Amino acid sequence: MIFYKTEEEIALLEQSNILVARTLGEISRRICPGISTLMLDQIAEEYIRDNGGEPGFLGYDGFPNTLCMSVGKQVVHGIPSSYELKEGDILSCDCGVLLNGFYGDSAYTFSVGEVNPEIKSLLKVTKEALYKGITNAVEGNHLGDIGYAIQEHAEKYGFSVVREMVGHGIGKDLHEDPQVPNFGRQDRGLKLRNGLVIAIEPMINLGKKDVYQDEDGWAIITADGLPSAHFEHTIVVRNGQAQILSSFEFIEEYNNI
Ligand code: MG
Ligand code: MG
């Protein structure tokens, strides 16, 4: 069942998502070779709590931490650990927050120092694919138009779209209906209307699309061991248009992107 949101609920969702955006901004200032993903996780938890929120992922289905931290060949759902980032790594940092009864959810893939040109291109194209998807999240379009736009852009550059993991509705629950695949056909699926709030989150692999789940029961990993990128925004269809509720501005203003 899809819960279409009122203006009041959208305002609360915006606050949750801005706290997510600010948390990712804090993390981006601390990413450097030598810092562990667990240390970054602790910084995020403290920042969220200091700002009146609760970590949205901590304890969700038993997830043990605040952030999903996925390095290199890990696609999503990596558990923070003592692993220390090194020059040339990429790190997908996925953050969820619960504030005033509503969830925010957004993710960004960071480069640690200089990464090779192929990986740089993967990051650029995955972020572009996210915005292509968002551009299609307008009243009267269908869910399939979002997935189609993402897939078309990623595959144009020879990258591949993970099929098993998808975006989702979001509100009082972290994961609500509908599912939002990053692949699809135009004019297919749910027709979009005002009040729909969804997280759009392409997971794009440098190599083949196949993934498996790590024996830790969480991390999703590329089968060919090549890197994967992940960018996510929470958006609302409002006044017929897509409005982004999360933001990358706190990351990008600091990192001059
Ligand atoms: Mg997320
Ligand atoms: Mg999500």
Nearest ligand to the C-alpha atom of residue 230: 1
CA of 257 to the centre of ligand 2 (A): 23
CA of 182 to the centre of ligand 2 (A): 12
Nearest ligand to the C-alpha atom of residue 20: 1
- Residue 249 CA to residue 22 CA, distance in Å, equals 9
Neighbouring CB atoms inside 10 A of 210's CB total 14
pLDDT digits (tens, 9 = 90+) for 188-206: 999 999 999 999 999 999 9
CA of 186 to the centre of ligand 2 (A): 22
Instruction: With beta carbons less than 8 A apart as the criterion, state whether 103 and 174 touch.
Output: yes
* pLDDT band at 255; cut points 50, 70, 90: confident
Nearest ligand to the C-alpha atom of residue 56: 1
**Can you tell me the mean pLDDT for 87-113?**
98
CA of 120 to the centre of ligand 2 (A): 23
CA of 46 to the centre of ligand 2 (A): 21
Specify the pLDDT at position 256. Answer: 74
Instruction: With beta carbons less than 8 A apart as the criterion, state whether 13 and 106 touch.
Output: no
Burial environment of residue 179 by CB neighbours within 10 A (0 to 12, 13 to 18, 19 or more)? middle
pLDDT digits (tens, 9 = 90+) for 101-150: 999 999 999 999 999 999 999 999 999 999 999 999 999 999 999 999 99
- Tell me which residue of 200, 115, 90, 116 sits closest to 153, measured CA to CA: 200
Nearest ligand to the C-alpha atom of residue 170: 2
CA of 175 to the centre of ligand 2 (A): 7
Specify the pLDDT at position 167. Answer: 98
pLDDT digits (tens, 9 = 90+) for 221-247: 999 999 999 999 999 999 999 999 999
Burial environment of residue 6 by CB neighbours within 10 A (0 to 12, 13 to 18, 19 or more)? exposed
**Can you tell me the mean pLDDT for 90-95?**
98
> Which residue in the block uniquely carries the two structure tokens 């017929």?
240
Specify the pLDDT at position 15. Answer: 98
Specify the pLDDT at position 254. Answer: 74
CA of 12 to the centre of ligand 2 (A): 17
Average pLDDT of every residue of the chain: 97
Q: What is the pTM of this model?
A: 0.98
